[in-house]
C-alpha cells in the first residue's frame, strides 16, 4: 500500500507529491489527461516569488512585462508597476512538465490517462477507484482543479464564488509592453479581460482571456472584435480553452486521511483568479501536515486540521480584504469604474501601488488604496445609490 495518492497533476499536486517523496514517502499521482500541462488552462503570469519554490528554467519564461495597465470602459488607462518584485509570463504547459520531471526524479510515480471515479475512506486506508482499477494508500491529496465531484463525495466544502473564463493564444502584430486588464460591463460582466504579452521562437504572441458571468467564450469573442483589440492580433480566433474559476476558498479543505490543495480548495486570488503560487504554497503546507501525520500514523480529521489552520493563517488576511474589494468592484457601473480610475490617477495611487504592491500578497495594497479619499468617495457613492 502506498503512503499517498495525489489526484491531479497540476502545480499543486505535483509539488505536494515531490515534497512528500523527498521525505521518503511512496507517492503516486494520477492524472486524467494523457500529457502533463495539456490543456493549458491559465495565463501563467507569476512573480519572482514563485521561483523561490521552484526554479523555472529561463526557456520557460515567455516574457517579463514591467507594468500592468488597467483600461476602463471609456478607454482611459492607468499604469501600475512594482518596485519590489519582477513579473514573468511563463509557459504553463512546460512548467507543469518541469514539475512532473522533478517529481519523478524524487521518486514519484505518475500515471496519466487515469480518471478517478470515486474515493472511499476506510479506517486504515483510502481507496481511489478509476474504472476497474483501484489504488490504496494511507492518505489522499485532492489536487483535481475545479472539478468538485470528489469533494462532494467526501463531504468537503466547495468554493463560495465562481466565474466562467475563456482564453486563447494568438499571433500579434507586436508584443505589448504591459499586461493589460480591461474592465466594463460590455467587456466582462462582474469580471475583466486581459491581454498578456508572450514571445515564442521569435514570434510576437498574446494570451487574451476573460473571466465573467455568463458565457465567457461569447464575451471573449466580442472583446476580440473590438476595434482597439482586433487590429492588434494577426491570426483567426482559435477555439478558446474554457474553465470554471473559483474566487474564494472552500469552507473545509480536510477530512479523515484527505486534504484538498490549490484550485481544488478554492485557493486563488479573489481579485484576479490567479492561483499558481497559492497552489504550490498550499501544496507545501499539505506536505508538511501529511508528513507529520504519516510518521505518527495520525491521519484523522482532527489531525489534518493543522493543514487548514496553517493556510488560513498565511492567506486569510489577504483573501478576506481582496474578497471585500471584489464585492465593491462588482457594484460599480461603467461610469463609476471610469471615475475610480480618474480618482486613482488624481490620488497618485500608482505610486502607492509601486511602494506596497505584492503580486501574491494583496492585503496591504488593497487597504492602502481603500484609504485614499478620492477612491473611497467613488466606492461610497456606488454603495449608497
Residues 73-89: tens digit of each pLDDT? 998 888 876 656 788 89
Q: Could you tell me if 289 and 235 are in contact, meaning their C-beta atoms sit under 8 angstroms apart?
A: no
State whether 10 and 113 are in the same domain: yes
Q: Distance from first CA to last CA of the chain, Å, rounded?
A: 61
- What is the CA angle 274-369-250, rounded to 5? 35
> pLDDT higher for 307 or 325?
307
State whether 352 and 206 are in the same domain: no
Q: From residue 288, how far is each of 39, 80, 109, 178, 317 by CA, in Å?
A: 29, 36, 20, 37, 21
Which of the four pLDDT bands, split at 50, 70 and 90, describes residue 308?
A: very high
249-270 pLDDT tens trace: 999 999 999 999 999 999 998 8
Count the domains in the chain.
3
User: Where are any strands of DSSP class E within 201-347?
Assistant: 203-212, 241-246, 254-255, 258-260
* Residue 286 in grid coordinates: 499539505
333-353 pLDDT tens trace: 898 888 878 776 665 655 655
State whether 255 and 107 are in the same domain: yes
User: Which domain, by its residues, includes 371?
Assistant: 324-384
The pairing of strands 162-171 and 45-47 is unpaired
Q: Could you tell me if 118 and 112 are in contact, meaning their C-beta atoms sit under 8 angstroms apart?
A: no
> pLDDT higher for 70 or 23?
23
Q: Count of CB atoms within 10 A of residue 64's CB?
A: 11
Report the C-alpha gap between 194 and 43 in whole angstroms. Answer: 9
State whether 183 and 259 are in the same domain: no
314-329 pLDDT tens trace: 999 889 888 888 888 8
Task: Please choose, from the candidates 248, 250, 40, the residue with its C-alpha nearest in 3D space to the C-alpha of residue 150.
Answer: 250
Q: Is the pLDDT of residue 312 over 90?
A: yes
pLDDT of residue 364: 54
Q: Is the pLDDT of residue 94 over 80?
A: yes
Q: What is the DSSP letter of 325?
A: H
Of 314, 332, 359, the domain-final residue: 314
pLDDT of residue 56: 87
> pLDDT higher for 364 or 337?
337
* CATH number, domain with residue 14: 3.50.50.60
Q: Could you tell me if 282 and 265 are in contact, meaning their C-beta atoms sit under 8 angstroms apart?
A: yes
The whole-model pTM stands at 0.91
Of 222, 245, 268, the domain-final residue: 245
Of 260, 279, 314, the domain-final residue: 314
Amino acid at each position: 500500500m502506498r503512503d499517498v495518492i495525489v489526484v491531479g497533476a497540476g502545480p499543486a499536486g505535483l509539488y505536494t507529491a515531490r515534497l512528500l517523496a523527498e521525505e521518503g514517502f511512496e507517492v503516486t499521482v494520477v492524472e486524467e489527461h494523457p500529457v502533463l500541462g495539456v490543456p493549458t488552462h491559465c495565463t501563467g503570469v507569476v512573480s519572482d516569488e514563485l521561483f523561490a519554490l521552484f526554479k523555472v528554467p529561463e526557456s520557460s519564461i515567455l516574457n517579463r512585462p514591467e507594468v500592468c495597465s488597467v483600461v476602463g470602459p471609456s478607454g482611459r488607462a492607468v499604469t501600475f508597476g512594482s518596485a519590489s518584485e519582477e513579473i514573468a509570463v511563463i509557459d504553463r504547459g512546460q512548467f507543469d512538465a518541469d514539475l512532473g520531471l522533478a517529481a519523478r526524479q524524487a521518486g514519484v510515480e505518475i500515471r496519466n490517462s487515469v480518471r478517478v471515479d470515486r474515493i472511499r475512506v476506510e479506517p486504515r486506508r483510502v481507496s481511489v477507484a478509476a474504472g476497474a482499477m483501484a489504488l490504496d494508500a494511507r492518505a489522499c491529496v485532492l489536487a483535481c482543479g475545479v472539478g468538485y465531484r470528489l469533494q462532494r463525495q467526501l463531504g468537503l466544502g466547495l468554493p463560495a464564488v465562481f466565474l466562467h473564463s475563456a482564453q486563447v493564444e494568438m499571433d500579434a502584430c507586436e508584443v505589448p509592453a504591459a499586461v493589460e486588464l480591461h474592465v466594463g460591463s460590455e467587456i466582462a460582466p462582474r469580471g475583466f479581460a486581459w491581454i498578456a504579452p508572450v514571445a515564442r521562437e521569435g514570434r510576437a504572441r498574446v494570451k487574451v482571456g476573460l473571466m465573467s458571468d455568463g458565457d465567457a467564450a461569447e464575451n471573449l469573442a466580442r472583446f476580440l472584435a473590438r476595434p482597439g483589440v482586433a487590429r492588434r492580433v494577426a491570426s483567426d480566433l482559435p477555439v478558446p480553452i474554457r474553465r470554471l474559476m473559483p474566487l474564494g476558498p472552500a469552507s473545509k479543505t480536510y477530512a479523515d486521511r484527505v486534504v484538498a490543495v490549490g484550485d481544488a480548495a478554492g485557493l486563488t486570488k479573489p481579485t484576479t483568479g490567479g492561483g499558481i503560487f497559492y497552489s504550490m504554497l498550499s501544496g507545501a503546507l499539505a506536505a508538511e501536515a501529511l508528513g507529520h501525520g504519516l510518521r505518527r500514523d495520525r491521519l484523522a480529521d482532527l489531525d489534518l486540521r493543522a493543514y487548514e489552520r496553517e493556510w488560513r493563517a498565511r492567506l486569510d488576511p489577504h483573501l478576506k480584504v481582496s474578497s471585500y474589494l471584489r464585492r465593491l468592484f462588482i457594484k460599480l457601473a461603467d461610469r463609476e469604474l471610469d471615475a475610480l480610475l480618474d480618482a486613482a490617477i488624481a490620488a497618485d495611487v500608482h505610486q502607492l501601488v509601486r511602494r506596497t504592491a505584492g503580486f501574491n500578497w494583496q492585503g496591504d495594497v488593497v487597504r492602502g488604496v481603500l484609504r485614499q479619499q478620492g477612491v473611497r468617495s467613488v466606492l461610497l457613492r456606488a454603495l449608497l445609490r
